[in-house]
Amino acid sequence: MIKENKRAVWVGLFVLIGIAILVVGILTLGGQQKKFVKAVHLTAVFDDVGGLQTGNNIWFSGVKIGTVRKINFFGDSQVEVELSVEESVAEFIRKNSKATISSDGLIGNKIIVIYGGTTDFPAVEEGDKLEAIMPLDTDKMMETLQENNKNLVDITNDLKVLTSKMAAGEGIIGAVLTDSLLAENFRTILVNLNRASANSNKMIADLSAFSVKLNKKGTLINDLVTDTSMVSDLRATLDHLRTTSESTEALTKQLAEISKKLNTTDNSLGLLLNDPEFAKSLKNTLEQTDSATFHLSKGMEALEYTWPFNKGFKRKAKASGN
């Protein structure tokens, strides 16, 4: 009898411990799943949930705030996800917040991540619908990575071929790396370029100093640039020079016309300068005139001694002597 009572006590004790463990487990799971917390229910519609399941966690700013309540098909081929979010956190989630699907770790369970939202919009309320942003497709990412790996292998092979040719001295770069004479010539070119650069810098400095001198007050260039009265005087001088040039041009044209006329025989001077026969005739006339003048002078001297004029010349000589 005593043994049966002890057995009953032990059985009851184990049953009580089992019930206690069950209650603790239920409370623990319920606390993790937010079953005993007041919640606000939201929705988001995705084209593909990528393996998301009911009960998966919801994160906001790195904090777990709820669980996925239900997953339903929506429309033609979309999926509506019902979200159960703690009521105490709902006031921080705005109506323009977005929801996307992510992973808990690299290969962990799928989770819903709520992000974004501005204070310009009010907080979410029961039944609100968040904008769903499709996550990156991991399969497409893997395909892209594989393609990039292939390209990387091709690039590596090309680099291997290129470096082997360079090491063998092929091409310009290979020649530069292996030909000492070419390298020396290249070094000389660089020295000349440095020298030319230094000369250019010096020239620029000289030009700068010259520009400073030109901008110095009292110089001619500075006066021309800044003195308006000098500009007007210079403009007036240029106008006078232009007028003088026009007058000179007109005089030159007139002299050209006169010179042209002197080269013709239709005028006295032109005939005198250009007609040799006329010049010869004029010379003969002058010679004859000179001869006539000489003979006339001789005749006047002889006339002094002729009888009719003898008394007159004597009277004139006597008057001159007085």
pLDDT at 37: 64
What value does the mean pLDDT take over residues 22-34? 61
pLDDT at 254: 78
Name residue 20's beta-bridge partners: none
Return the higher-pLDDT residue of 303 and 289.
Answer: 289
Name residue 64's beta-bridge partners: 59
Q: Is 195 helix (H, G, I), strand (E, B) or coil?
A: helix
Least confident range of 90-99, 205-214, 281-290, 308-317:
308-317
Return the higher-pLDDT residue of 279 and 246.
Answer: 246
Query: How do residues 75-125 score in pLDDT, each as one tens digit?
Result: 888 999 999 999 888 889 999 999 999 888 766 788 999 998 898 999 999
CA separation for the pair 109, 67 (Å, rounded): 12
| pLDDT at 137 > cutoff 60 | yes
pLDDT at 310: 60
What value does the mean pLDDT take over residues 230-256? 78
Residues 38/86, Cβ–Cβ less than 8 Å: yes
Return the higher-pLDDT residue of 299 and 237.
Answer: 237
| pLDDT at 234 > cutoff 80 | no
CA angle 272, 277, 280 (to 5 degrees): 80
Query: How do residues 171-227 score in pLDDT, each as one tens digit?
Result: 666 666 666 676 777 788 888 888 888 888 888 888 887 777 666 776 666 666 666
Least confident range of 55-59, 145-149, 273-277:
273-277
Q: What percent of the chain has pLDDT over 90?
A: 19
Angle at which helices 138-167 and 171-178 cross, to 10°: 50
Residues 123/91, Cβ–Cβ less than 8 Å: yes
pLDDT at 302: 62
Mean pLDDT across the chain, nearest whole number? Answer: 77
What value does the mean pLDDT take over residues 22-27? 67
DSSP 216-264: STTSHHHHHHH-HHHHHHHHHHHHHHHHHHHHHHHHHHHHHHHHHHHTS
